[in-house]
């Protein structure tokens, strides 16, 4: 059972938190996309923090390339970092590779520190259930500017996870930021009014924002199963 819940405002803070399980959250949009990709049958996903490595490894291993630079897909990628697009794909038996500005950087930074999962509202129930075997759970906000700045959207999504964990383990101790999250209301509105949500709308990707606000559209529990310098391999461990 979960006995303590922490929230890291940015990935660097998570490196100072000792936990059994880390849940990386990039609600808009990487971890929402990841949960959706596995929900559509993807067998495994390499995430990387380096765009050139994404291209080289994707070609060498015959992987389908997903990703974004500045919110939009690179011209030579197969697909963007869009949960709406992902939801319309048939990915049964497919291996993928994802590069994004913030979410994949956070996953690579945390890989190897314990059990590391990708969480979002899209797989809220699945992830909170998967956290149950662990005593200390740290929710890691991917943030902005390659994880160097706080992102309100990720914090609000993390607050939803705190609520879900407390529903299962109401006696869990809360770190200060987790306590603030537990006392924060109107979380969907916070996500919608965040700076990152505004950027998504400006790019004409409002449908992705609407999708990211939906809860439990995926049963997947994307979990890091291998990692190296600048990359991590995720598989669905539901």
What is the pLDDT at residue 222? 98
Instruction: Give the integer Cα–Cα distance in Å for 174 and 123.
Output: 22
CATH architecture classification, 4-236? Alpha-Beta Complex (3.90)
The full 3-state SS of 102-151, as one line of letters, equals: CHHHHHHHHCCCCEEEEECHHHHHHHHHHCCCCCEEEEEECCECCCCECC
pLDDT for 167-200, tens place per residue?
Answer: 999 999 999 999 999 999 999 999 999 999 999 9
Q: Which helix (H) or strand (E) holds 212?
A: helix 206-212
Instruction: Map residue 86 onto helix, strand or coil.
Output: helix
The pLDDT tens digits of the residues spanning 21-79 come to 999 999 999 999 999 999 999 999 999 999 999 999 999 999 999 999 999 999 999 99
Q: Alpha-carbon dihedral of residues 115, 165, 102, 38, nearest 10 degrees?
A: 70
Sign of CA dihedral 114, 117, 121, 124: negative
Distance, in Å, from the CA atom of 111 to the CA atom of 98, rounded to the nearest integer, reads 15
């Amino acid at each position: 059972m979960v006995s303590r819940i922490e929230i890291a405002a940015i990935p660097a803070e998570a490196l100072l938190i000792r936990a059994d399980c880390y849940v990386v959250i990039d609600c808009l949009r990487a971890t929402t996309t990841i949960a959706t990709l596995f929900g559509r049958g993807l067998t495994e996903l390499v995430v990387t923090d380096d765009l050139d490595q994404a291209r080289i490894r994707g070609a060498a291993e015959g992987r389908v390339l997903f990703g974004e630079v500045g919110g939009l897909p690179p011209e030579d990628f197969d697909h963007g970092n869009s949960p709406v697009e992902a939801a319309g794909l048939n990915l049964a038996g497919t291996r993928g590779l994802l590069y994004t500005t913030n979410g994949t950087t956070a996953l690579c930074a945390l890989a190897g520190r314990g059990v590391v999962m990708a969480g979002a509202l899209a797989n809220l129930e699945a992830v909170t259930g998967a956290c149950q075997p662990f005593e200390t759970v740290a929710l890691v906000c991917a943030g902005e500017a390659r994880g160097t700045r706080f992102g309100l959207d990720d914090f609000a999504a993390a607050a939803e996870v705190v609520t879900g964990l407390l529903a299962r383990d109401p006696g869990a101790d809360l770190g200060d930021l987790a306590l603030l999250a537990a006392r924060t209301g109107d979380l969907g509105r916070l996500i919608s009014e965040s700076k990152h949500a505004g950027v998504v709308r400006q790019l004409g990707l409002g449908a992705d924002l609407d999708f990211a606000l939906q809860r439990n559209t995926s049963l997947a529990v994307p979990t890091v199963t291998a990692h190296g310098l600048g990359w991590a391999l995720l598989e669905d461990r539901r």
